[in-house]
């Protein structure tokens, strides 16, 4: 509860909310929510999670979606520092895992430099959980011995393009936040040597009630995307493991 007499600083907990469904958060993350004085939360999570926080807790939206940021990252950093001087427990609630394309490292560095204690509570990354929503393992003996995760949406200050020639050689490639650039992703991978007939799928709004899964090949990725409705977060999976998908009621398999 906010208190003018609180002796600063409190602890900021960078909590991974998991891939979507509210019951996929860790027990540690849920317990911290239940004693939080303030929750600063992202867009890519189920709002039902906020019900775990005490009724008196501050709830502050700081979400980011492609082309739409509730507040700049610098403002979020300073907000976290400020709230740590108002509450003993501050939860920064992030979709997936805080350290997988979640800018958790930046927030941690800022807070530590300001003398604010930080604890990271890992979450289930959508990089793995989205594929498993279709019963697709990212590794499988004799099928996939390795996997890589890359962002399909480069930050404005990114220096280099992802190493597509190296990524094209990875058994299973998971691409987060790549739906708006799906044509470029397909083009770069095939130009780097990935076979157009490689199985591929898109999982949209993984583990949420409006989850959608479409599967086909790398060559048909753009066509697959046209079958999706809504604007939920999407994960692209490219690799032979996609042929193991076993959710026929939720999967639209395109002819290769």
Active site amino acids:
42, 64, 177
Q: How far apart are CA 241 and CA 256, in angstroms?
A: 15
Q: Cβ(66)–Cβ(180) under 8 Å?
A: yes
The β-bridge relationship of strands 234-238 and 199-204 is antiparallel
Strand partners, 39: 59, 91
The tokens describing 199, both together, are 């199985």
Which burial class, exposed, middle or buried, applies to 14 when counting CB atoms under 10 A from its CB (0-12, 13-18, 19+)?
buried
Other Cβ atoms less than 10 A from the Cβ of 249: the count is: 5
Q: How many CB atoms lie within 10 A of CB 22?
A: 18
Of the candidates 40, 32, 122, 120, the residue with the CA atom closest to the CA atom of residue 78 = 40
H or E element in which residue 49 lies:
none
Please give the span between the terminal C-alpha atoms of the chain, in angstroms, as a whole number: 57
């Amino acid at each position: 509860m906010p208190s003018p007499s609180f002796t600063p600083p409190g602890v900021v907990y960078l909590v991974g909310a998991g891939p979507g469904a509210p019951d996929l958060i860790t027990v540690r993350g849920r317990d911290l929510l239940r004693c939080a004085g303030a929750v600063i939360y992202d867009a890519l999570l189920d709002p039902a999670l906020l019900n775990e926080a005490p009724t008196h807790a501050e709830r502050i939206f700081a979400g980011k979606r492609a082309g739409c940021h509730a507040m700049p990252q610098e403002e979020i950093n300073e907000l976290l520092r400020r709230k740590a001087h108002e509450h003993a427990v501050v939860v920064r609630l992030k979709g997936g895992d805080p350290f997988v394309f979640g800018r958790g490292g930046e927030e941690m560095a800022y807070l530590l430099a300001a003398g604010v204690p930080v604890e990271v509570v890992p979450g289930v990354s959508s990089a793995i959980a989205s594929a498993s929503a279709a019963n697709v393992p990212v590794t499988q003996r004799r099928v996939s011995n390795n996997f890589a995760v890359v962002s399909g949406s480069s930050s404005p200050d990114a220096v280099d393009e992802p190493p597509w020639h190296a990524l094209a050689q990875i058994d299973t490639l998971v691409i987060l936040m790549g739906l708006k650039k799906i044509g470029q992703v397909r083009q770069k991978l095939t130009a780097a040597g990935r076979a157009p007939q490689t199985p591929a799928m898109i999982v949209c709004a993984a583990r949420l009630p409006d989850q959608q899964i479409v599967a086909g090949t790398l060559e048909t990725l753009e066509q697959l995307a046209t079958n999706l409705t809504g604007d939920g977060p999407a994960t692209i999976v490219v690799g032979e493991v996609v042929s193991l998908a076993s959710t026929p009621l939720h999967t639209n398999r395109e002819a290769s």
